[in-house]
Amino acid sequence: MFTEQGERLTLTLLQLEDCQVVGHKNLDRDGYDAIVLGAVTKKPSDVAKPQKKFYIDSKLEPRKILKEFRVDENNKLAIGTEVKPSHFKIGQYIDISGRSIGKGFAGVMKRHNFAGLEASHGVSISHRSHGSTGQCQDPGRVFKGKKMAGHLGDKNVTMQNLKVVSVDDEKSILIVSGNIPGSKGKYVFVKDAVKKSVDA
């Protein structure tokens, strides 16, 4: 979309699928305060017995995905409360966490943005290599965490300070400005931004 000032915004549409508060964590019992949100209903036949009893006692449909969110004791939503996109305010900043797209084994130029070796001056058949990996006899090993070729993607990533542009409770859609981790159709976790709240 374009703003009134002519600025172009890249948008991502997120759908909240049967998102509901299914449980609480208490300071006395668990050591911290939190609410447990469940999303995407599933058949009772697919639920293990201990979980089935939990859902029967709380009179809720079983959920495929469960996620805890830390909150103050005074801000806990009641069990059974449905969380809609309007829970977030337009202009608010949020953090979105998800699993990034896996891209298999990749070299250092693609994985860590290395420049690679020179195209001439005696360099042969190693133009895209990472070069030296360490020192000589001292310390005589490669340090842990050294940037090398390996598995790219398929890890937990959090995109911070994404702005809420619009909310639609009727279609259960939350529209944010910016890109989020993961491929289309994957599940992500949305929470209030840690570093930013709302524009002044």
Write the DSSP assignment of 18-40 as a string of letters. S-EEEEEE-HHHHSS-EEEEEEE
% of the chain at pLDDT higher than 90: 74
Q: Report the predicted TM-score, pTM, of the whole model to 2 decimal places.
A: 0.85
Q: In the chain, what are the domains?
A: 1-16+84-102+154-200 (2.40.30.10), 17-83 (3.30.160.810), 104-134+148-152 (no CATH)
Shortest CA distance to 23 belongs to which of 14, 47, 62? 62
Contact 78, 15 (CB under 8 A): no
pLDDT at 177: 95
pLDDT at 50: 82
60-97: pLDDT as tens digits: 889 999 999 999 988 899 999 999 999 999 999 999 99
Taking residues 17-26, what's their average pLDDT?
91
136-151: pLDDT as tens digits: 899 999 999 999 999 9
173, 83, 195, 100 alpha-carbon torsion, rounded to 10°? -60
pLDDT of 55 above 60: yes
162, 163, 169, 171 alpha-carbon torsion, rounded to 10°? -60
% of the chain at pLDDT higher than 70: 98
